[in-house]
Amino acid sequence: MKFLEYTPLARINAFLSHVDVGGCMIQGGLEAYSCKLAGVDKKLSRSLEQEVVDSLAYLPFDLSTSPVGSLSSTASRRTLIYLILTLNHMYPDYDFSMLRPQHFIKEHGVFAAKQKIDVSLVEASKIWFTEVGEETTLMDSIWNAIDEMVF
């Protein structure tokens, strides 16, 4: 995986790194990574894949209820591995290789996830408007940047 520089995300991250919304501080950010595996990531990916396949025989929960999908599916295992690798890149001082599907939560669609994020950042959106002074709202800036990176 490789970190992808993207100017609109950098601007949003500069704002989200220190937002005082009164009773609490927001410290967050958005990062984009390629999904091409190389070097250490490729080795860890193979290791994680083998661990998951080996553990299929004795998992304590129904494979179909995994938040990443059925672990008997290569695509679902790949999703789990990408989540772990992304966390390892975002927080290099920590090792997330022991995470398993039950450590994640699956949102019920993109709209539900967007709605939760929008509600969580409503106060930050007000501050964005006064501090940044752009006509584009914080949420529009976030979703536009994500759309551009994904599509």
Give yes or no for residue 151 having a pLDDT over 80.
no
Sequence ranges of the domains in the chain: 1-34+108-150, 39-106
Which pLDDT value is given to residue 53?
80
Radius of gyration of the chain from its Cα atoms, rounded to whole angstroms: 18
DSSP code at position 73: S
- pLDDT tens sequence across 103-141: 999 888 999 999 999 999 998 998 898 887 777 899 999
Residues 124-140, buried b or exposed e (16+ Cβ, 10 A)? bbebbeeeeeeeebbbe
Q: What is the pTM of this model?
A: 0.78
Contact 21, 10 (CB under 8 A): no
Spatial CA neighbour of 30 closest among 78, 86, 109: 86
Tokens of 87: 């966390």
Contact 85, 1 (CB under 8 A): yes
CA dihedral (142, 80, 42, 52) in degrees, to 10, reads: 170
Tokens of 47: 């290791």
Which pLDDT value is given to residue 38?
82
Contact 89, 3 (CB under 8 A): yes
Which pLDDT value is given to residue 62?
56
**11 CB burial (10 A radius; 0-12, 13-18, 19+):** middle
Give bridge partners of residue 127 from the DSSP assignment: none
Give yes or no for residue 58 having a pLDDT over 80.
no
